[in-house]
Amino acid sequence: MTKNAVQNCAKCGMCLNVCPVYTVLNEEQASPRARLHLIKAYEQNKLSSSPLLKEIISKCLMCGSCAAICPLGINHYSEFMEMRKRMVEDHGEKLPIKSLVYLLAKEQRLKFANTLARVGQNIVPEQFKEKYKLGNIPLKRLPVLNKKPFRSALPETIFPNGEQKGTVIYFTGCATNYIYEDTGFSAVNILSHLGYRILIPETQTCCAIPMLFHGFVEKARQSIKENIAALSQDSVDAIIVDCATCGTALKKEYNLLCDKLDLDKSAVDEISSKVTDIGSFMLANADFFNFKKIQNPKSLNLTYHLPCHLKNSFGNTETMETLLKIIPNINYIKAADFDSCCGGGGTFFYEYPEVSKKIGNKKKETAIKTGADLWLTDCPVCRINLSGNLDENDSLKVVHPVSAISSLLKPKT
């Protein structure tokens, strides 16, 4: 924890205007400034640890909006993460969260669990899927898992079809590897089209953000070290992420944990300097795209949801919109609240479904009003949450931007 950071909070209230949870609950204890002052009281031994304190600290989307707007530069993100760690040590954690952390800590466990879950999706009766929910999302609205992990479907090195411009590492994250293979294949198609040799290290694993968010810092150590080893390769132009949350881990969080987890600082700095989201990478290479020519240039009607971590951790607010506007054959329709939180927040939609549902419903209403056919978002949890809150009769389909853009590329001969 940054020394004296919580003591610096001036209670100005700027964080209230951007906090999705406070906006819905309208309770002071749900505000970022309240959490900071509760942490301050706890550190000064004026407030005892309790299940209620743990609940207040945990009822947060970890979106980073408060830290991004704070005029004093307080890193709420790190403060809340450290306090969650203390609360878990004092009061333990719910079994579903402990189970998730257990699985994410070892890639083999996650792979085995994914296989079982895939079998379960095939044999569970439809009536069961319609009746029961995961948080606020009906089981029937959850994505179908990949038949096999994405990384095992491709070689570790993929060469471009044509002249090679450079080399990139593709950090796929857990979601692309086990849930959204369409994102992975589309990203590979785009990167190869742009002329890059693609390295997909088999030894990469969970970025560790879910473990860190829930206070299991020590559990995250091995995953972080494995990723550092996997991504520390010479002659690499960039490390591409299709998930801004994974990117936040690689670009920022590992650096903050160097001393605590005894990490190789020089290796972490090198990785951090090369991490970029795929949207920014595409925009930087936009001149090298070769799109199909179709008769109706307005045939693909798209709207977009900007993930919080892309906005707040990367400071990336206009990249995808700019890219969508310059791509032919796309009719981009901006939603009024395109850059507001969707209420997903990792496991937040599961732990606090009522709050998440209220936040998500506002997003759904404005997205539907655009009349778009596709709802794009760069974050897999946002994708799960947005898609899960749509109704069967809603015409919107939620996909990663790379899937839409890849479908427009002209095949190279």
| Maximal C-alpha separation, the chain | 70
Least confident range of 128-132, 192-196, 256-260, 306-310: 128-132
Per-residue pLDDT band at 10 (split at 50, 70, 90): confident
CA angle 278, 359, 331 (to 5 degrees): 45
pTM above threshold 0.85 = yes
Return the pLDDT at 130.
84
> What's the rounded Cα separation, in Å, for the pair 227 and 281?
21
Return the pLDDT at 162.
86
What average pLDDT does range 245-267 have in this prediction?
94
What are the phi and psi torsion angles at 23 (to 5°)?
-60, -35
Measured over the CA atoms of residue 111, residue 114, residue 119 and residue 122, the dihedral's sign is negative
Return the pLDDT at 1.
41
pLDDT digits (tens, 9 = 90+) for 171-198: 999 999 999 999 999 999 999 999 999 9
User: What percent of the chain lies above the pLDDT cut of 90?
Assistant: 80
What average pLDDT does range 118-129 have in this prediction?
89
- The structural domains of the chain, with segments of one domain joined by +, span 6-91, 289-407
Per-residue pLDDT band at 8 (split at 50, 70, 90): confident
What fold does the segment set 289-407 form as a domain?
Rossmann fold (3.40.50)
Return the pLDDT at 2.
45
What average pLDDT does range 143-157 have in this prediction?
95
Return the pLDDT at 92.
93
**Alpha helices (H) in 59-145, listed in sequence order:** 65-69, 76-91, 95-104, 107-123, 126-131
For 146-177, letters b (16+ CB in 10 Å) and e give beebbbeebeeebebeeeeeebbbbbbbbbbb
pLDDT digits (tens, 9 = 90+) for 231-249: 999 899 999 999 999 999 9
Return the pLDDT at 294.
65
Fold matches, 6-91 and 289-407: no
Chain-centre distance for alpha carbon 118: 22
Mean pLDDT score across all residues of the chain: 92
Stronger pLDDT, 292 or 365, i.e. the higher one:
365
pLDDT at 298 over 60: no
Return the pLDDT at 393.
87
> What's the rounded Cα separation, in Å, for the pair 386 and 344?
8
The answer to whether residues 157 and 233 touch, using CB atoms and an 8 Å cutoff, is no
pLDDT at 411 over 70: yes
The answer to whether residues 197 and 167 touch, using CB atoms and an 8 Å cutoff, is yes
Return the pLDDT at 295.
59
pLDDT at 413 over 80: no
Return the pLDDT at 5.
67
pLDDT at 164 over 90: yes
Q: CATH code for 6-91?
A: 1.10.1060.10
Residues 6+ apart with CB under 8 A from 83: 35, 39, 42, 57
Give the SS3 label for residue 64: coil
Return the pLDDT at 179.
96
Least confident range of 48-52, 292-296, 319-323: 292-296
pLDDT at 211 over 90: yes
pLDDT at 356 over 80: yes
Per-residue pLDDT band at 275 (split at 50, 70, 90): very high
pLDDT at 325 over 70: yes
Q: Which residue has the tokens 């990203």?
A: 187
Give the SS3 label for residue 128: helix
The two tokens of residue 204 are 């990469």
Most confident of 1-10, 182-191, 318-327: 182-191
CA angle 15, 17, 22 (to 5 degrees): 85
Per-residue pLDDT band at 3 (split at 50, 70, 90): very low
Q: Transcribe 306-345 into DSSP letters.
A: --HHHHHTS--SSHHHHHHHHSTTEEE---TTTTS--S-T
Return the pLDDT at 32.
94
